[in-house]
Amino acid sequence: MRRSLGAKIMVTTLAASLATSLVAACGSDSGDDGPIELTFWSWAPEIEQVVDAWNADNPDIKVTLSKQAGGGDIVTKLLTANQAGNPPDLAQVEYQSLPTLVSNDVLADIADLAGDAQSAFAEGVWQQVTLGTDAVYAIPQDAGPMMLYYRADLFEQFGLTVPTTWNEFAQTARDLRAQTTDHYLTTFSANDPGWFAGLAQQAGAAWWAIDGEAWRVTVDDPATRQVAEFWGGLVTEDVVDDQPMYTPEWNQALNDGTLLAWPSAIWGPGVLAGNAADTEGRWEMAPLPQWTAGANVTGNWGGSSTGVTEKSPHREAAVKFATWMNTDPAATELLVRESAIYPAARDAQTGPALADPPAFFANQPDFYALAQEIADTAAGFTWGPNVNVTYQTYMDSFAAAITDGTPFVDAVAAMQTATVGDMRDNGFSIAE
Amino acid sequence: MPVAVRTRSGGRRGRRTAVPYVFLTPAVALFVLTFLLPIGYAVYLSLRKVQVSGLGLGRGSRTEVFAGLANYRAALADPTLLTGALRVFGYGALLVPVMLGLALLFALLLDRPRVGLQRVSRIAIFLPYAVPAVIASLLWGFLYLPATSPLNDTLDWLGGPQPDLLGTGTVFYAVVNIALWGGVGFNMIVLFTALRAIPPELYESARIDGCSELQIAWRIKIPLLTPALVMTTVFTMIATLQVFSEPMTLRPLTNSISSTWTPLMKIYRDAFATDDRYAAAATSVIVALVTLVLSFGFLRLVQRRAFGQER
Amino acid sequence: MATAHPQPAAATTRRRPHRPRPHRPRPQLVPTIVLLTGAVYCLLPVAWVLVAATKSGSSLFSTFTFAPGDALFANIAELSAYRGGQFWRWVANTALYAGVGALASAALSGLSGYTLAKYDFVGRSAIFNTLLAGVLVPGVILAVPQYLLLAKIGLADTYWSVLLPSIISPYGIYLARIYAAAAVPDTVIEAARTDGAGEFRIFRQVAVPMMIPGLITVFLFQFVAIWNNFLLPFIMLADDNKFPVTLGLYTLLNQGSTTPALYSLVITGSLLSIIPLVALFLSLQRYWRIDLLSGSIKA
């Protein structure tokens, strides 16, 4: 084995820390004297800068960051760690995971400690962390309002106009395909349930609702069916592609213009810059097409919050850090600049860090002004306790619908059946 | 070479002594800790389920209760488990002979004299085993997806058709190919090391007598390799019955693979995606039992050839 | 398949012995081609890793898949800069897990395999079969119970949590048993016993040298298995400074759909991760050339 000197030193250090951690693991850490030590699980890129800034100014509360894999993986680890009794003090959790975590007694109710943070956030955003109750389960960090990104240069080349309604969108797709079979307007991805959920939100869908002491589950409400039928029609007509996103092929399509548009969310520029850096400056952003002309609604795709765990022995310190990170102007500026997220805090949305457009969209100076307008129109949404089941069923049933050529509304019906069935199995009260 | 047959010569070995137990204690202790206890816990979990009251959001509204065989019934009633199992059997029927046949072929070729580029081939065939699975999705995405695949590019340049390697009909073979590519090196090394254990005098004399390499391989080496071959087959069978990571790596790339494409994927989905550990435990007990029956059944079938044959 | 062969195929004892060739024989064509085809088939995807690691992020998805780039060192530099060199910390961790784990595993498997092969005692086949049956249980289902168990003893999120489950390897024990049975003749053991050696001394000084090729194989396989293992460290470790390379790269790749995946870094990291394995394999190859001592066939 190759061993550099550096690696040798590393190994010695590690052996020492192995011994120390063995000792530390057996004892419990209470941190009575000396600084309070908090552990924080997160996946946002460069968030260590925010943590470092806090540690520099707050020597009595030391936050140790541990970068985890994002999305559903961190939820699984939180659940198992909580069951074993050693979860972190703070964790970055997406909004749709909150009910699952609350239901498993992972997150603490911090209403008494964080109540005054409410004024910093819009109503729809704050509702996602209260789950419609009086409790507060997390501090919102970022939001993901959806908008449309499109290749302005290719639109010009093919003589297309930016669609403002979904009917226009369908027509644009057809116009493009009539001119060339080498390009699609966009793709429908059966692998990204959050994307579909955001589109459904825009149409007015409400998959879960709390009705007194019971859940009301309507994954197959008319709004969702409308969205499914619309996209199913486009896929059947072969005017949009049917391949999943975030694959090498999709990345290549963004690069070489095979796909002209991407219904995405506010964090889109970061992904585009990472996957298609050479197309910088050729994209533009517009609001999502609407279902009725003149309307002004959008949905949310992604967005995360900072939760404090129930088992944390330093709840007050943890809430202090979480609130600072998500509302303090200095912190949110770092979040925007370094982690490239769109802050949920209203002041930060109009703050100095968002005065200039993202580098990738330097050709659109009013990018963030337009984005803020769009963000204000984001529909609220109540997430249920088994979002994972719904999402997994989405992936399986829509993929099958695409390969079998069956209607997309059937896939939505499958999602409804699976969600209700799973909740019933586990004993949740379901309102009829 | 026969594995465990040796003559009993009596003496100390036949007497009762604590030495073997002492020697085996570390392995047994670790095995109990890392296998038996977790398996026991998994079996225990398979008989439990979660029961929630009301909205399920308040403190303590979620309890674990005894569920009897409900999880097993639900698992067996799931149609995707059966289709997944049948798919896995077909997958194994294709993969095991091809992979072991190739591994045997390469091992034999590496063991004979006068074959060029042996060292290069040996390391090259071993290399797939060294590639970390974390980039498997990326790697096979690039090689299989039509837009980035060099195969498609080459065929396009030659004017040929553009195959869809990840379509519903072809994705099965795409998965087999990944497993074959990743596993042939491992099995080749095992068989090669077993070949190395055969004393060369055995076939030197045959060579001098004028046997061709092919005959030596067929008449001498392969029969001596039979125990290793049998056990390698068993382990490969077990691994293919538990196939999981190869289809998982292709899943985000295509619409042709569902989350329950194989039984192990269903278990993974239950355990890690939908956080239903109880269903996962029940399904894995079922899968483990089936694997046990099949592999020990196979062993019993070839037992005489594996362990009983004398030279 | 037909091979070009200087000797006629039929073998009879009445044939005159083949005269030894004065010069080094030329390699045969067909077997070489077969091996070469296998080598190319196996190497092609690995070549992709190499080529992709030379591309910068922006050219990864915009150039022909096998067209090399020129950004290899830039990628390595960027990877090393991530979080102040955390990648190299991951490499050191992996070396620890794999090195120590595989060594301990080879030793344990050797001892256990030897015991199972050379001693006859009550419960021998029961223990062996139970150990083998461990292979039947998919790691996916063992992961969470193992974590909960180790958390109960307070070992979760420590180096031991990854090492302990890595040391026990049913397959390694099986391999070692085969080796011990084939390579260590009973006569030699008996001779040592009559000389008055203790059992463990016999194992250490008589059996182990004979079992070296098999133990090397076990070591190599366990090393690679631990090096590339993902699920176990994923569930066991929370502190990302203890991550092995596989897990660390996975977090770089899976930062959620809202953040760009660091493709180039991950591919470069994977390439760097393959190199020590290749080096290890090359350095261990010579052990497979050692012919076994007595070469006795069991009668």
> What structural domains does chain B harbor?
78-308 (1.10.3720.10)
Question: What residues 127-166 of chain C have any CB closer than 8 A to a CB of chain A?
Answer: 144, 147-148, 151-152, 154-160
Q: What is the pLDDT of residue C154?
A: 87
Question: Taking CB atoms and an 8 Å limit, are A248 and B138 in contact across chains?
Answer: yes
Residue B154 scores a pLDDT above 70: yes
Q: How many domains in chain A? A: 2
Instruction: Tell me the two tokens of residue B34.
Output: 């890392």
Q: Most confidently modeled of A103-117, B13-27, B103-117? A: A103-117
Asked if A211 is an interface residue toward chain B (Cβ–Cβ < 8 A), one would say no
Question: Taking CB atoms and an 8 Å limit, are C159 and A70 in contact across chains?
Answer: no
Question: Taking CB atoms and an 8 Å limit, are A253 and B147 in contact across chains?
Answer: yes
**Cα angle C194-C199-C201, degrees, rounded to a multiple of 5:** 95
Whose tokens are 């590339």? That residue is C228
Instruction: Tell me the two tokens of residue C151.
Output: 């958390």
Q: Best of A77, A266, A304 to disrupt the C interface by mutation (most C CBs within 10 Å)?
A: A77
Q: Closest Cα of chain C to A331: distance in Å? A: 19
Cβ atoms of A159 and A285 closer than 8 Å = no
The answer to whether residue A368 is domain-embedded is no
Considering only CB atoms, which chain B residues are within 8 Å of A71? none
Residue A17 scores a pLDDT above 80: no
Question: What residues 17-36 of chain C have any CB closer than 8 A to a CB of chain B?
Answer: 17-18, 25-28, 31-32, 34-36
Cβ atoms of B123 and C278 closer than 8 Å = yes
Residues A154 and A195 in one domain: yes
Q: Closest Cα of chain C to B238: distance in Å? A: 7
Cβ atoms of B166 and B256 closer than 8 Å = yes
CA of C162: which chain B residue's CA is closest? B34
Query: Comparing C10-24, C76-90, C255-269, which segment has the lowest mean pLDDT?
Result: C10-24
| ipTM at complex level | 0.85
Residues A401 and A386 in one domain: yes
Question: Taking CB atoms and an 8 Å limit, are B139 and C26 in contact across chains?
Answer: no
Question: Taking CB atoms and an 8 Å limit, are C112 and B119 in contact across chains?
Answer: no
In the three-class reduction of DSSP (H, G, I as helix; E, B as strand; rest coil), residue A298 is classed as strand
Question: What residues 254-293 of chain C have any CB closer than 8 A to a CB of chain A?
Answer: 254-263, 275-276, 279-280, 283
Q: What is the pLDDT of residue A11?
A: 47
Q: What is the pLDDT of residue B10?
A: 43
CA of A142: which chain C residue's CA is closest? C258
Q: What is the pLDDT of residue A6?
A: 46
Torsion (CA) B159, B161, B165, B170 in degrees, nearest 10: -150
Residues A125 and A255 in one domain: no
Torsion (CA) A248, A252, A255, A258 in degrees, nearest 10: -130
Of A99, A102, A248, the CB nearest to B141: A248
Q: How far apart are CA A342 and CA B60, in angstroms?
A: 35
Asked if A248 is an interface residue toward chain B (Cβ–Cβ < 8 A), one would say yes
Q: How far apart are CA A196 and CA A212, in angstroms?
A: 28
Mean pLDDT value of segment B31-38: 91
Which whole-number Å values give the CA distances from C285 to B298, C178, C223, C280, C282, in the listed order? Answer: 33, 20, 15, 9, 5
CA of A276: which chain C residue's CA is closest? C58
Domain residue spans of chain C: 80-289
Residue B181: which pLDDT band, with cuts at 50, 70 and 90? very high
Of B1, B106, B212, the CB nearest to C35: B106
Cβ atoms of B23 and C115 closer than 8 Å = yes
The answer to whether residue A5 is domain-embedded is no
Residues A270 and A398 in one domain: yes
Q: Closest Cα of chain A to B93: distance in Å? A: 26
For chain B, give the number of residues: 311
Residues A157 and A245 in one domain: yes
Query: Comparing B30-44, B225-239, B287-301, C3-17, which segment has the lowest mean pLDDT?
Result: C3-17
Residues A128 and A150 in one domain: no
For chains A and C, CB pairs below 8 A equal 153
Q: What is the pLDDT of residue B307?
A: 55
Q: How far apart are CA A142 and CA A303, in angstroms?
A: 5
Q: What is the pLDDT of residue A10?
A: 46
Residue B5: which pLDDT band, with cuts at 50, 70 and 90? very low
The answer to whether residue A365 is domain-embedded is no
Residue scoring higher pLDDT (B239 or A199):
A199
Question: Taking CB atoms and an 8 Å limit, are B146 and A249 in contact across chains?
Answer: yes
Q: What is the pLDDT of residue B147?
A: 87
Of B50, B62, B145, the CB nearest to A247: B145
Question: Taking CB atoms and an 8 Å limit, are A400 and B258 in contact across chains?
Answer: yes
Residues A152 and A296 in one domain: yes
Q: What is the pLDDT of residue A32?
A: 53
Q: How far apart are CA B275 and CA B50, in angstroms?
A: 11
Question: Taking CB atoms and an 8 Å limit, are B114 and C299 in contact across chains?
Answer: no
Question: Taking CB atoms and an 8 Å limit, are B253 and A102 in contact across chains?
Answer: no
**Cα angle A285-A290-A296, degrees, rounded to a multiple of 5:** 80
pLDDT for C124-183, tens place per residue? 989 988 888 887 777 888 888 899 889 888 888 899 999 999 999 988 898 888 788 878
Query: Comparing A251-255, B237-241, C14-18, C92-96, which segment has the lowest mean pLDDT?
Result: C14-18
Q: How far apart are CA B214 and CA B111, in angstroms?
A: 12
Residue C285 scores a pLDDT above 80: no
Question: Taking CB atoms and an 8 Å limit, are C148 and A265 in contact across chains?
Answer: no
Residue A296 scores a pLDDT above 50: yes
Of A76, A243, A403, the CB nearest to B272: A76
Residue B161 scores a pLDDT above 60: yes
Residue scoring higher pLDDT (B3 or C55):
C55
Mean pLDDT value of segment B195-217: 80
The neighbouring-strand residues paired with B50 are: B64
CATH number at residue A416: 3.40.190.10
Residues A176 and A278 in one domain: yes
Which whole-number Å values give the CA distances from A196 to A207, A264, A337, A398, C181, in the listed order? Answer: 12, 10, 28, 11, 60
The three-state (H, E, C) secondary structure of chain B, written as one string? CCCCCCCCCCHHHHCCCCHHHHHHHHHHHHHHHHHHHHHHHHHHHHCEEEEECCCCCCCCCEEEEECCCHHHHHHHHCHHHHHHHHHHHHHHHHHHHHHHHHHHHHHHHHHCCCCCCHHHHHHHHHHHHHCCHHHHHHHHHHHHCCCCCHHHHHHHHHCCCCCCCCCCCCHHHHHHHHHHHHHHHHHHHHHHHHHHCCCCHHHHHHHHCCCCHHHHHHHHHHHHHHHHHHHHHHHHHHHHHCCCHHHHHHHHHCCCCCCCCCHHHHHHHHHHHCCCHHHHHHHHHHHHHHHHHHHHHHHHHHHHHHHHCCC
pLDDT for A362-389, tens place per residue? 999 999 999 999 988 888 888 999 999 9
CATH T-level topology, domain C80-289: MetI-like fold (1.10.3720)
The answer to whether residue A265 is domain-embedded is yes
Question: Taking CB atoms and an 8 Å limit, are B57 and A243 in contact across chains?
Answer: no
In the three-class reduction of DSSP (H, G, I as helix; E, B as strand; rest coil), residue A375 is classed as helix
Residue A19: which pLDDT band, with cuts at 50, 70 and 90? very low
Of C156, C275, C280, the CB nearest to A84: C156
Residues A154 and A123 in one domain: no
Question: Taking CB atoms and an 8 Å limit, are A427 and B60 in contact across chains?
Answer: no
Give which of B194, B291, B193, B283 is closest to B237, Cα–Cα: B291
The neighbouring-strand residues paired with A298 are: A378
Q: What is the pLDDT of residue A351?
A: 86
| Domain, as residue range, for A75 | 31-143+303-354
Burial class of residue C74 in the structure, from the number of CB atoms within 10 Å of its CB (0-12 exposed, 13-18 middle, 19+ buried): middle
Q: What is the mean pLDDT of chain A?
A: 89
Residue A199 scores a pLDDT above 50: yes
Mean pLDDT value of segment A164-171: 96
Of C25, C146, C179, the CB nearest to B114: C25
Whose tokens are 């993986």? That residue is A73
pLDDT for C22-73, tens place per residue? 555 566 788 888 888 889 999 999 999 999 999 988 888 888 888 888 889 9
Residues A255 and A296 in one domain: yes
Residue scoring higher pLDDT (C294 or B296):
B296
The answer to whether residue A18 is domain-embedded is no
In the three-class reduction of DSSP (H, G, I as helix; E, B as strand; rest coil), residue A420 is classed as helix
Of C7, C138, C144, the CB nearest to B242: C138
Give which of C216, C219, C237, C217 is closest to C227, Cα–Cα: C219
Strands of the A304-308 sheet, one edge to the other: A61-67, A36-42, A90-94, A304-308, A138-140
Residues A47 and A64 in one domain: yes
Considering only CB atoms, which chain B residues are within 8 Å of A389? 274
Going by DSSP bridges, is the β-strand pair A36-42/A61-67 parallel, antiparallel, or unpaired?
A: parallel
Considering only CB atoms, which chain C residues are within 8 Å of A73? 234, 254
Residues A68 and A90 in one domain: yes
For chain C, give the number of residues: 299
Q: Closest Cα of chain B to C94: distance in Å? A: 12
Question: Taking CB atoms and an 8 Å limit, are B147 and A249 in contact across chains?
Answer: yes
Question: Taking CB atoms and an 8 Å limit, are C256 and A43 in contact across chains?
Answer: yes
Mean pLDDT value of segment C69-93: 91
